[in-house]
Structure 1
Amino acid sequence: MASRTTGKMSLPMLTAMVVGSMVGAGIFNLPGRFGAATGPFGAIIAWMIAGTGMYMLARVFQALAEKKPEIDSGVFAYAKAGFGDYMGFLSAFGYWLGSCLGNVFYWVLIGSTLGRFFPEIFADGSSPTAIIVSLIGIWAFHFMILRGVEQAAFINTVVTVAKIVPIIVAIIIFVFAFNYSQFSENFFGGVGMVEKSLFQQVRDTMLITVFVFLGIEGASVYSRFAKTRADVGSATILGFVGVMGLMVAVTLLPYAAMPRGTIAGVQQPSLAGVLEVVVGHWGAVFISIGVLISVLGAYLAWSLICAEVLFAAAKSQDMPRLFAAQNGNRVPANALWLTNIVVSLFVISTYWSRDAFNFMLDMTSVTSLLPYLLVAGYGVLIARRGEGYATTPQERSRDQIFASIAVAYTIIMFLAAGLKYVLLVAVLYVPGTVLYVWARREQNARLFSSAELIVFIITALAAIAGAAGLVTGIITP
């Protein structure tokens, strides 16, 4: 628990921030999303790829926390240190934007969960009533967070424990319901499912695996609150290992309880649907309660992270200094206001989306990839240069390999996402550059270097293509 006198977070609390950030909405949607994409064989391959890539990324965060202890709120600060001011801004803005979109997804999931019991009112989570309830919730959390970061972090620790319980209970039930013949029937795709190549099956799971790992950097974002820097890396690895085990179990065990077609057809959150098939209606109610607790807890964690990223970027002059202001409770109030205004606007926009649930999930995943890619790239740079390795030169080669694999993984994820989502993210990036221009003018600094100007032009061209696709209907949200 963070001390009220020191305001510092212990290793258990930092680990809870990682787990609380990662175990949110995604884990409750894994059975249905995987069931629609592949059988157990493809799922095992997908988790091997995702687990390896994200473990390498976790090791990069751990290494950077140790080798670059002077860099706080590391997600965007590492990008700036390695690749310059504009790339640092794009990383900060992209990470913040992805966090905002993730928060929108949480409210859509809350609406769709309630829609299981009140379909006429909440429908799929984007009905007018669902949107109104979401807006009320957003601003209720807003004013609670304004009361203090440490208080909210303590609440997150409690909620993290509470939301893990339904997941573990579901896993235990699936273990007792394990049917080997059913698992074997589903193993290579199942009966009556659309034939797809193994490559396509695995590719169709990639964005959901990125989404469920979001938050792996939770301890790094809050590094300035850590009692010791070593705790940041330890919390990242501990959180990753624990959550990885839960996600693999939640994905694979339902294949041994029912046909793959049944898994693919259940309503989201699909963990509630598959447990209902196994034990009856009470299973859906039980998991739905867990979903609501989990999502509200994750929303709290990500609201903190959103505000912290904007605040830290403003402190390092990568965002307008307006967002560096804190209230009497040490909460970055202006950053929190902008975050929740943007989240509210995105929530309202879900009314016009054909599939707000999966669209927000995939957009959240893609916006996180650029910050992760730049972090991994910075890990490669400092290992090659030997920065911070004066006392541990034997670790350089190992860390360079880890970071290189993490770079390859994030590039593969971009390719798996597809052009549609990359163009849509560019549509959001270009208007955000207004904040960068604002910050540079405050400092009377040069706007772009030659290389940065090229990056901006490429981003602007992608945004134009994305906007044209939206207007013509070629791209649909």
Structure 2
Amino acid sequence: MASETSGKFSLWTLTGMVVGSMVGAGIFSLPQAFGRATGPFGAVIAWAIAGFGMLMLAFVFQSLSARRPDLDAGIYAYAKAGFGNYPGFLSALGYWSAALLGNVSYFVLIKSTLGLFFPVFGDGNTVLAVATSSILLWCMHFLILRGIRQAAFINTIVTVAKIIPILLFVVLVAFGFKADLFSMDFWGGSEVAFGDIAGQVRATMLVTVFVFVGIEGASVYSRYARNRADIGIATLVGFLGVLALMVLVTLLSYGALSRPELAALRNPSMAGVLEAVVGHWGAVFVSAGLVVSVAGAYLSWVLLAAEILYSASKYGTMPRFLAHENGNGVPSRALWLTNTVVQLFLILTLFTQYAFQLALELTSSMILIPYFLVAAYGLKLALGGDTYDRDPAGRRGDLLRTAVAVIYTAGLIYAAGAQHLLLTTVIYGPGTILYLMARREQGKSAFTPAELWLFLIAATGACIAVYLLATGVITV
């Protein structure tokens, strides 16, 4: 990669990476996802919890970027520095897998959107839908091979383009807002009960995680940053802007359609909401905006996926072949592996009825362990006092923020449920082969005693999950 300042990413480019990563398929499915789970009151509680928890996690990323400027691979490097080689590998693998599954969800949602107008695409999991998605996948692949900085520039343009239809949606639905409709389903049910509200909020947790995935975009690209301080600023600015959009899209939708109507919408459900307010052209407009948005989000996420493999390889946690760069400075082998696996998952969507929902939930589940390890590393630094010799006054605030981030991410793991966590081991267990290859290349032992137990848990979980899938106890 070029090292000149002129070749580095500016604050706005880094912010574009954060916003571009976060604003993708998820925001267009919020009305239906929240309509199925809760009413306006539960939605307010859910966004308050998710927003505060993720804000604390954003502060952790900001603090770590300043306190450990030597770690240039973000989410993966923090896990390795804090807890060792194998947990670092699991963080890299989990993050990479989340990026893959997120990209699959993007392609499925594009084809589901086209299915509104061309029934042959169905819900995005028909043969024609998968074939068309595959063509788009490899067109984007060869575009990225021409250079990451060119792709990042395109991402910045696309990010601006996709925010415009979302803002217009907010304005139009606000003008058509019906207060009586909003208040009718305010509590999410006929009676107010704490247990019911708590269950409703829990049902939204994986959705809120999915739409926030990408908050670490600037951190992952820290080695390209023109100024290290820009990483934390880009993370916070991008997060707060996207949070405001998501809250508005969710709450305003309750004033356009009743909760049962929202729950019955097909995705992208924003299209159905705007259609109810302004007519059929609203559905067309949102659908066009979604295609632009998802294309940009895919571009961000495939860059992030390739970058995490490349960085992990450079740090000796992934096999050496993944550290190869082509003449344009692109980690080409990491990109080839990434998109080959995306292609395999696209084919697998032919065999599941709810492809988008499954991809959404698995994406959220795979990112939970990496997020938890980052928060835990931040807490470890604050508790031990490492890196605080020049800023002892900042330690108390970091202790509070990192503790909240740990509690929040641990709560997300609990909210995901046993089935989703078990399914993640299907990737964590077999994926360890890449780690074993890397350790063999270096002539080092595979695991420490503690890491061996961690691997045995992942491998056993993978065997159990495969058996339950094969016997139909778990269905996808």
Q: State whether TM-score is above 0.5.
A: yes
The amino acid that maps onto 1:238 is: V
Alignment of 1:181-200 (within 5 A): 181-189=180-188, 197-200=196-199
Report the Cα distance in structure 1 between the residues aligned to 2:333 and 2:430, rounded to whole angstroms: 19
Partner of 2:132 in structure 1? 133
Partner of 1:360 in structure 2? 359
Partner of 2:249 in structure 1? 250
**Cα offset for 1:3?**
10
Unaligned 5+ segments in structure 1 are none
For residues 167-223 of structure 1, the C-alpha deviation after alignment (integer angstroms, 9 at most, x for no partner) is 00010011111222111112112579xx98112111111101000000000000000
The amino acid that maps onto 2:334 is: A
Unaligned 5+ segments in structure 2 are none
Report the Cα distance in structure 2 between the residues aligned to 1:129 and 1:178, rounded to whole angstroms: 38
Report the Cα distance in structure 2 between the residues aligned to 1:106 and 1:34, rounded to whole angstroms: 19
Partner of 2:271 in structure 1? 272
- Bigger mean CA deviation after superposition, 383-392 or 273-282: 383-392
Partner of 1:379 in structure 2? 378
The amino acid that maps onto 1:127 is: T
Partner of 2:202 in structure 1? 203
Distance 1:386 1:196, change over 3 A: closer
Report the Cα distance in structure 2 between the residues aligned to 1:242 and 1:89, rounded to whole angstroms: 31
Partner of 2:54 in structure 1? 54
For residues 276-309 of structure 1, the C-alpha deviation after alignment (integer angstroms, 9 at most, x for no partner) is 1111100000000000000000000001001000
C-alpha contact (below 8 Å) 1:3/1:9 kept by paired residues: no
Partner of 1:425 in structure 2? 424
Q: Secondary structure at the match of 2:6?
A: coil
**Cα offset for 1:157?**
0.2
- Bigger mean CA deviation after superposition, 410-419 or 429-438: 410-419
Partner of 1:309 in structure 2? 308
Partner of 1:111 in structure 2? 111
The amino acid that maps onto 1:72 is: D
C-alpha contact (below 8 Å) 2:22/2:211 kept by paired residues: yes
C-alpha contact (below 8 Å) 1:190/1:261 kept by paired residues: no
Distance 1:3 1:438, change over 3 A: closer
C-alpha contact (below 8 Å) 1:32/1:263 kept by paired residues: yes
**Cα offset for 1:5?**
7.1
Alignment of 1:27-426 (within 5 A): 27-119=27-119, 121-189=120-188, 197-426=196-425
Report the Cα distance in structure 1 between the residues aligned to 2:446 and 2:214, rounded to whole angstroms: 31
The amino acid that maps onto 1:237 is: L
For residues 147-166 of structure 1, the C-alpha deviation after alignment (integer angstroms, 9 at most, x for no partner) is 00000000000000000011
**Cα offset for 1:6?**
3.0
Report the Cα distance in structure 2 between the residues aligned to 1:398 and 1:417, rounded to whole angstroms: 29
The amino acid that maps onto 2:354 is: D
The amino acid that maps onto 1:91 is: S
Distance 1:23 1:106, change over 3 A: same
Report the Cα distance in structure 2 between the residues aligned to 1:112 and 1:405, rounded to whole angstroms: 38
- Bigger mean CA deviation after superposition, 214-223 or 387-396: 387-396
Report the Cα distance in structure 1 between the residues aligned to 2:163 and 2:101, rounded to whole angstroms: 23
Report the Cα distance in structure 2 between the residues aligned to 1:115 and 1:135, rounded to whole angstroms: 17
C-alpha contact (below 8 Å) 2:15/2:235 kept by paired residues: yes
Alignment of 1:456-475 (within 5 A): 456-475=455-474
C-alpha contact (below 8 Å) 2:316/2:438 kept by paired residues: yes
Report the Cα distance in structure 1 between the residues aligned to 2:232 and 2:4, rounded to whole angstroms: 23
**Cα offset for 1:258?**
2.1
For residues 417-440 of structure 1, the C-alpha deviation after alignment (integer angstroms, 9 at most, x for no partner) is 111111111011111100000000
C-alpha contact (below 8 Å) 1:366/1:417 kept by paired residues: yes
The amino acid that maps onto 2:151 is: A
- Bigger mean CA deviation after superposition, 74-83 or 416-425: 416-425
C-alpha contact (below 8 Å) 2:430/2:459 kept by paired residues: no
Report the Cα distance in structure 1 between the residues aligned to 2:34 and 2:319, rounded to whole angstroms: 42
For residues 89-136 of structure 1, the C-alpha deviation after alignment (integer angstroms, 9 at most, x for no partner) is 0000110011001000100001100001101x1000000000000111
**Cα offset for 1:4?**
8.5
Aligned sequence identity (%): 56
Report the Cα distance in structure 1 between the residues aligned to 2:449 and 2:7, rounded to whole angstroms: 42
Partner of 1:454 in structure 2? 453
Structure 1 vs Structure 2 CA RMSD: 1.7
The amino acid that maps onto 2:115 is: G
C-alpha contact (below 8 Å) 1:190/1:259 kept by paired residues: no
TM-score normalised over the length of structure 2: 0.98
The amino acid that maps onto 1:235 is: A
The amino acid that maps onto 2:319 is: P
C-alpha contact (below 8 Å) 2:5/2:226 kept by paired residues: no
**Cα offset for 1:23?**
0.4
Report the Cα distance in structure 2 between the residues aligned to 1:270 and 1:418, rounded to whole angstroms: 25
Q: Secondary structure at the match of 1:197?
A: helix
Report the Cα distance in structure 1 between the residues aligned to 2:334 and 2:3, rounded to whole angstroms: 24
Q: Secondary structure at the match of 1:258?
A: coil
Hey, which bits of structure 1, 4+ residues long, moved more than 4 A? 2-5
Q: Secondary structure at the match of 1:418?
A: helix
Q: Aligned pairs, how many?
A: 475
Report the Cα distance in structure 2 between the residues aligned to 1:21 and 1:6, rounded to whole angstroms: 23
Report the Cα distance in structure 1 between the residues aligned to 2:255 and 2:275, rounded to whole angstroms: 15
Report the Cα distance in structure 1 between the residues aligned to 2:66 and 2:131, rounded to whole angstroms: 45
Report the Cα distance in structure 2 between the residues aligned to 1:189 and 1:377, rounded to whole angstroms: 35
